Amino acid sequence: MVKMSLDAVQVMSGQVKELKVSPSSNGDARGSWEGKEEFDPSQLELTAKPKPVTGRRARKVEGAVFFPKPENAVTVAVSSRVLFRTEREQKVFEQKGVEEYLRYQIEHENEPFAPGPAFPFVKALEAVNTRLRELYPQSEELFDIVLVTYNHAHVGIRLINTINHHNLFIERFCMTGGSSPIGYLKAWQTNLYLSADAEKVREALAEGIAAATMFMTEKLTEVSQSQLRVAFDGDAVLFSDESERIFKTHGLDKFFEHEKENEDRLLDHGPLKGFLEALGKLQKKFYAKGQRLDCPIRTYLVTARSAASSGIRALKTLRAWGLEIDEALFLAGAPKGPMLEKIRPHIYFDDQMFHVEGAAEMGTVAAHVPYGIAQKYNSQQKMSSGK
């Protein structure tokens, strides 16, 4: 079984190397995937010293093209602890305190951090931006990435060096010096917040900000760099937890009965509905240029719902919202991991840790959305198992 750090501080040993690019732009595991072994970061030594940053990448800035206003952009706020591997530094902080931690960061500021679980996702966002700028040179409707960190400003030099080393385009930082970033997320009009801190993710969700907790895993499968793939669970992620409450409290038969009786009544929105909406808005810009079949954004619904028994309500809700989902997989309770391994998404969102762990076992980067009735059952399971 693949180990995954549920406390994002307690990450697995090993560094993640930069993922290879697959020329494939569909969900198939053929062509360039044939004969390739999955990359296992645990094969690399964590103690290996990274190469120092030797220079800074020059950037050409052309006004609003590169710095869109928050109200026009799709803003993705990413914690430094999920964009990069910072577990060694976290141990220094926990064992020796903040002053020694800051001293360590300054002493190593020319050594770039290794990529973390959100790194391939961010690279894919930037690849979409490149396509958008080709089609709409003056448009501000782009992904805008904000690096969010609890770090002191002294650590900013190392973060900047790391961003330049990995050739990322991230110009907006939010270094809070230990304070909560939630207020800043609202000011940025954030569409999605990814963090290793589950408590801060819950705070963001309570403020109406789409958010999810990310984890380190022992292995990551290769993902496409030419097409951003985002997969969503349905209930308590895109939709409210109304139907899931029926299932948890009254069982499967009552759930099917409830869905049949209410198939023409729309489900209420869930915490990630707005992010799917934002993705759809950017997709339509490619469709308008005749690039529907070559769109660099692809979305997936991967749900435990049954198609005939309870799928129609979900599909009717998405259609009524004006949202297109490129692929919909109704698994009727089957494990999600094998399907996600086939899709190879850059990120998968689910409200249940059971499914997040199952996806991680197959090498998928999965993010937990701590929302809805399932969180009550997750807590009860932890208490009963002594965790």
Q: Give whole-number Cα distances, 106 to 48, 89, 112, 259, 304, in Å.
A: 19, 11, 12, 57, 48
Candidate list 144, 197, 233, 241, residue with the active-site label: 233
Could you give the 3-state DSSP secondary structure of residue 97? coil
Q: How many angstroms from the chain centroid is the CA of residue 317?
A: 24
| Residues contacting 62, CB < 8 A, separation 6+ | none
Q: Which two tokens stand for residue 59?
A: 């950037």
DSSP 179-212: S--HHHHHHTT-SEEEES-HHHHHHHHHTT--EE
Residue 161 C-alpha from the chain's centroid: 23
Q: Which has the closest alpha carbon to 204: 195, 111, 273, 353?
A: 195
Taking the C-alpha atoms of residue 110 and residue 113, their distance in angstroms, rounded to an integer, is 10
Assess whether 233 carries a catalytic annotation.
yes
Tell me how long the chain is: 387
Catalytic annotation, residues: 233
